[in-house]
Amino acid sequence: MASKRIVLKFGSGILTRKDAPEPDPVQLRKLVEAVALLKRAGHSVVVVSSGAVASGLKPLDFSQRPSDVTTLQALAAVGQTHLMHAYESLLRDHGLHVAQLLVTHEDFENADRSPRVKAVLERLMEFSQVVPVINENDSVAIEELRYGDNDKLSSRVARFWGADVLILLTSAPGLLRDMKKPEEGPIPIVEDVDAVIHHAEEEKSALGTGGMISKLRAVQDAVHGGVECIIASGRHAEQIPGLIDGHGICTRFPASRS
């Protein structure tokens, strides 16, 4: 199979423990193993990762996530170093290295910054042993420069980089047919994301939480930019390589042809 440009989005929900607001080392190891398998198969991989704030809670003796912005920024500043150290340690086991990129909205929109960011990203991808890990620069970004969530950021990165596939990994197996009957599983393929997101926004109770709506908005942006999207469970990281080959339990959104 031909080499692809793949963006993987890891949300906090799949990076932290189910019973505590702190990083889950077992889960992170599984996700990194999936990245290594994709790299071994010849694909180019960029990770958009949440988890900086959660990684800063324990070092600063917080038992739960605070609400004030300044403290959250401080936690992100501390947690980002712990998160990158974890990625580097795990990637090193596979002969790989992490490259950290912290960005704000302006880095992609500013006429001077945007070409530089793209040039650095493209240069990093020339090194087969490097995995760029991108996160929003929460410790310094002010409101008007923020993306606000990493679903939106991952979509922007995918379009900016010219990715073939964006995989949004979440706690759900995909866009469920019926939230009240999760055993029915996800919708395998959605041809018209515009119709789905409209229904989701009108009927939040029927199609899930704001978290899924955020993902659908990101998908909407990406598919209209020519990027195929997949929503799948990050709790089953072992299926990630198979998703690229057309297998696995997920919801697929073909890229728009227009």
Using one digit for the tens of pLDDT, what is the confidence trace for 162-197?
999 999 999 889 998 877 787 888 999 999 999 888
For residue 56, is it within any domain?
A: yes
Within a domain: residue 258? no
Strand order through the sheet with 165-170: 97-103, 130-136, 44-49, 5-10, 165-170, 228-233, 250-253
Sort 70 into a burial class: Cβ within 10 Å, 0-12 / 13-18 / 19+. exposed
- Domain extent for 102: 5-253
Number of domains into which the chain is organized: 1
- Amino acid present at 87: Y
Res. 208 pLDDT band, cuts 50 70 90: very low
Let me know if residue 200 belongs to a domain.
Answer: yes
Residue 20 domain flag:
yes
Model pLDDT for residues 47-65, shown as the tens digit of each residue:
999 999 999 999 999 988 8
Dihedral through CA 23, CA 27, CA 233, CA 153, nearest 10?
50
pLDDT tens digits, residue range 24-39? Answer: 999 999 999 999 999 9
Residue 229 lies in a domain: yes
Cα–Cα distance measured from residue 28 to residue 34, given in angstroms and rounded to the nearest whole number: 10
Consecutive H or E run containing 159: helix 150-161
What is the helix (H) or strand (E) element at residue 99, kind and residue range? strand 97-103
pLDDT digits (tens, 9 = 90+) for 74-106: 999 999 999 999 999 999 999 999 999 999 888
Domain containing residue 248: CATH number: 3.40.1160.10
Let me know if residue 223 belongs to a domain: yes
Distance CA 186, CA 173 (A): 6
Residue 202 φ/ψ, nearest 5 degrees: -80, -35
Residue 109 lies in a domain: yes
pTM: 0.92
What Å distances lie between residue 156 and 108, 133, 159, 191, CA to CA? 8, 14, 5, 21
